[in-house]
Amino acid sequence: EVQLLESGGGLVQPGGSLRLSCEASGLIFSNYDMIWVRQAPGKGLEWVSRIDTVFNTHYGDSVRGRFTISRDNSKNTLYLQMNSLGVEDTATYYCAKVNSATRGFDQWGQGTLVTVSS
């Protein structure tokens, strides 16, 4: 059974940094593109970033230049380094696996909450 477990969320002051992790199990992690999606409280889904199997990366407009996605295949772990955080980054952050054939996001973690507040 595929499991994705996010961690690293919490309270951070505006301008601060945080690194999220997403540990994967039950799959050959290196074989899959991975993504981060976030959801502000009471709001819709926002795609944040994607990293493919050869480490190419893409970012949403609102985070480009501040967030960095990475992966460590030896640890089956996906990361999201978040810098220069603002209150608008307050959200639950989900990691998800991209299905290689369909390109849909077919497995999701439970999410980790990031709160940016002074």
The two tokens of residue 40 are 């502000």
Instruction: Kindly list the distances between the CA atom of residue 85 and the CA atoms of 22, 44, 51, 110, in Å, as whole numbers in the listed order.
Output: 19, 19, 21, 22
Q: Which is nearer to other proteins, 16 or 46 (CB)?
A: 46
CB of 116 to other proteins, least distance (A): 21
* Residue 96: Cβ within 10 Å count: 22
Of the residues 16, 46, 76, 81, which one makes contact with other proteins according to CB under 8 A: 46
Per-residue binder mask for other proteins (CB under 8 A), 54-83, x = binder = ----xxxx----------------------
Report 80-109 residues binding other proteins (CB under 8 A): 94, 96, 99, 102-106, 108-109
- Among the listed residues 21, 7, 12, the one whose alpha carbon sits nearest the alpha carbon of residue 86: 12
